[in-house]
Every structure is written in structure tokens, then in C-alpha cells.
């Protein structure tokens, strides 16, 4: 692990619930200055000030500011993009895509202009297609654009398994690949508790139920909240990804990544295990999959490809 640069800087574009929660989590880590940017007048300033006023209690000493200007985000090491419309009850990811294309395109170009050497973490949904859009709009190497997917989905699956088996979630390793959403590919035989596959610990009908709940995890929360979507778990997942980059941890984490032949998939973005470190995606880890699993993963990538084609990037 490298020594953290005292000048490390993380900017978060979008001061909604996910962005603000992420800003708080990162501020409390105390390893980087935090900039919260949003076009809503007063929102990023107010949330940053609220977080700053918690510093004497939580003990962080790094700078946090809120701004409506991208210039404050200049020369960031990592930029987290949460901007865009949130998912509403009954809204499909396809509908969300159309609403967020123009917003995210503009944000990414502004980020690339002010922080040309940063790594982008895309959070805006539908995240796989938005990550592809960020690769295109930024002109960055594929390795410096990564999307939130399996860290969150895996955490949900681990939480459900933990409750079912009454074991610590920290002893559970989940294998979640593919699109973030209905075409997610969860592989129970590679999901383990203390090294033992859950296929030997839980009946198939229970596994199927937990898989289904994980796939529908975001929609379940949207349905319960009525007027919002998940942000506590997503912000925790993003913070873990930022940790891996800023601290150069070289963690193997499941993230949305651009594939150029890996897993037999080209020119699409899906969730796969990657080695995440100071240079962004330093390696894409290719798992040994069964024929059925490979087909499911290709189908998932094709579903993302249809969304990408629908964006008409030219």
C-alpha cells in the first residue's frame, strides 16, 4: 500500500443523498480533501458545511467544500459522478437511461476538462451504460473509468446470506457479475461462507429466493421509500472503491468495466472482478465459468449493448 499523498483530492459531482452520504464517509476517512459539486443553488454548500461541522466530533481534519463551480474540482485524483435523475417507482432502467444521457455527457466533459488525470467512478444509473458513456465522453483510457455495480450487489447478497445463515457478512464472499439490474449474473457455486460454497449450505429454493431478492434489491428499496432510492449502501460501496484507488490497495472488487475481449466480450461494459488500485483498473480478472454461466454473462453484456446503442453516441 502506498503512502497517501497529503494533497489527495476527491470530488463528488451531485450533492443528492448518494453524493452527500459518500462525501461524509470519505471526509471521515481523513485521507483527502473533498469537493461536493452541484448546480442546485446552496445544496452542495449547505451539505458540505453540515459535514464540516461534524469534524470536531468525528475527528477529521481535511478540507471539505461545496460549490456550484467545476473549477473547485480541478486536479482531483478521483471524481465520483452521482449526477442525474433518480429512479422512481415503476420506472425502468431504459427510461432512466434516456433521462440521464444528456446530463451525464455534460458532467463527464466538464470533469475531463478540469481533472484530466483523474479516475472516474460512475454511480448514475443505468450504471453500465453510463460508464460506457463516460469512457466515450471523457476520452480517458478504459482503465480510468469504472462503475459501481458488484460491490453494491455483492454486499446486498452477502447481507441476505448473513441473515439467512446467522453468520458474519465479513466471512461471506459473493460472486456477482454482469449488468447491474435485471440481467445480473449471480454465481452461487462461487459464493462462499468461510470458504464453503453456499450451494452446500442452503437449499436451492432458498438460494433462488436470495438471488431474486438481490437482483431486485434496488427496486425493493425504491418501492418502500416511495419518493427516493437507496443511498446508504451505494455510498458505502463507492467509498470502498475510492479507498482502493487513493490508497493504492490493489483490491479485487467487482466493478463495471469496459471489456475488450475479456470473457469473449468486446465493446461493452459489465460487472467483472478487477484489480483496483492507484491507476484505476489495473487488471481484469477472468474467472473460470461454466458454459451456462458464460452464456448468461454474454446475454447480460448484450442487454447493456442494446442500451448503449440506444444512446446513439455515433
Active site residues: 180
Distances (CA, A) of 217 to 59, 154, 211: 34, 11, 10
What's 122-152 look like in SS3? ECCCCHHHHHHHHHHHHCCCHHHEEECCHHH
Local structure of 225: helix, strand or coil: helix
- How far apart CA 65 and CA 218 sit, in angstroms, is 30
Residue 26 corresponds to which cell in the numbers above?
Answer: 470519505
Starting at the edge strand found earlier in the chain, the sheet holding 192-193 runs: 172-173, 192-193, 196-197
Residue 280 corresponds to which cell in the numbers above?
Answer: 484505476
Closest to 281 in 3D by CA, of 253, 239, 262, 306: 253
Task: Determine if the peptide bond prior to 92 is cis (ω within 30°).
Answer: no
Distances (CA, A) of 245 to 4, 11, 139, 204, 272: 10, 13, 20, 37, 17
| Residues 6+ away with beta carbon under 8 Å from 129 | 97, 269, 304, 307, 308, 311
Local structure of 253: helix, strand or coil: strand
Query: What b/e string do you get for 256-276 counting C-beta neighbours within 10 Å, with b at 16 or more?
Result: bbbbeebbebeebbbbbbbbb
Closest to 91 in 3D by CA, of 176, 152, 181: 181
Amino acid at each position: 500500500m502506498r503512502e497517501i499523498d497529503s494533497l489527495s483530492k476527491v470530488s463528488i459531482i451531485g450533492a443528492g443523498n448518494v453524493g452527500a452520504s459518500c462525501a461524509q464517509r470519505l471526509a471521515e476517512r481523513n485521507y483527502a480533501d473533498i469537493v461536493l459539486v452541484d448546480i442546485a443553488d446552496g445544496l452542495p454548500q449547505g451539505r458540505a458545511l453540515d459535514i464540516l461541522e461534524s469534524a470536531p466530533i468525528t475527528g477529521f481534519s481535511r478540507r471539505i467544500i461545496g460549490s456550484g463551480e467545476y473549477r473547485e474540482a480541478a486536479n482531483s485524483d478521483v471524481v465520483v459522478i452521482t449526477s442525474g435523475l433518480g429512479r422512481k417507482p415503476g420506472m425502468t432502467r431504459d427510461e432512466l437511461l434516456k433521462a440521464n444521457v444528456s446530463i451525464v455527457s455534460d458532467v463527464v466533459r466538464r470533469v475531463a476538462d478540469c481533472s484530466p488525470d483523474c479516475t472516474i467512478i460512475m454511480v448514475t444509473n443505468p450504471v453500465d451504460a453510463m460508464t460506457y458513456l463516460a469512457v466515450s465522453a471523457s476520452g480517458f483510457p478504459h482503465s480510468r473509468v469504472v462503475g459501481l455495480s458488484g460491490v453494491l450487489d455483492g454486499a446486498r447478497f452477502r447481507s441476505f446470506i448473513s441473515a439467512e445463515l446467522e453468520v458474519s457478512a465479513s466471512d461471506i464472499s459473493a460472486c456477482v457479475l454482469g449488468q447491474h439490474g435485471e440481467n445480473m449474473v449471480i454465481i452461487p457455486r462461487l459464493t462462499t461462507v468461510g470458504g464453503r460454497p453456499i450451494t452446500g449450505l442452503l437449499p436451492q429454493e432458498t438460494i433462488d429466493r436470495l438471488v431474486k431478492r438481490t437482483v431486485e434489491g434496488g427496486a425493493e428499496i425504491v418501492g418502500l421509500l416511495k419518493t427516493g432510492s437507496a443511498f446508504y449502501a451505494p455510498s458505502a460501496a463507492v467509498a470502498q472503491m475510492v479507498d482502493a484507488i487513493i490508497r493504492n490497495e490493489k483490491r479485487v472488487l467487482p466493478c463495471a468495466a469496459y471489456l475488450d475481449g475479456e470473457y469473449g466480450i468486446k465493446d461493452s461494459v459489465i460487472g467483472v472482478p478487477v484489480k483496483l488500485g492507484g491507476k484505476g483498473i489495473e487488471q481484469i480478472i477472468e474467472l473460470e465459468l461454466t458454459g451456462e454461466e458464460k452464456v448468461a454473462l454474454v446475454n447480460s453484456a448484450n442487454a447493456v449493448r442494446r442500451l448503449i446503442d440506444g444512446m446513439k453516441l455515433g
